[in-house]
Amino acid sequence: MDQTIIRGITVAELEQAISNRSEVIEDYPEDKYGPSGLILGFTADGRPLHVQCSYPARPLVKIVTVYEPDPSLWINFRVRKTDG
């Protein structure tokens, strides 16, 4: 089953998150799926989404994963919290 359906994320929300107020918060140049980055974006309703996608080296950008970040694991949805 498609993870976006399980996570309750619509295509419209994904489009909003990557086109409005988005920023790259992590860079994965050596990722197993190819060079990619983690984007923080917000839907029109203000829902935060993390979108990992390939570098736009070609006209087609590949989405690796998309999820709503857990606020207990992130500071302002931008920085991973550490244990210590």
Q: Answer yes or no: are the C-beta atoms of 62 and 55 closer than 8 Å.
A: no
Specify the pLDDT at position 24: 93
Buried b (16+ CB within 10 A) or exposed e, 14-40: bebbbeeeeeebeebeeeeeeebbbbb
Confidence of residue 1 (pLDDT cuts 50, 70, 90): very low
- 9-65 confidence digits (pLDDT tens): 998 999 999 987 799 999 999 988 789 999 999 999 999 999 999 886 777 888 888
Specify the pLDDT at position 7: 74
pTM above 0.75, yes or no: yes
Specify the pLDDT at position 79: 95
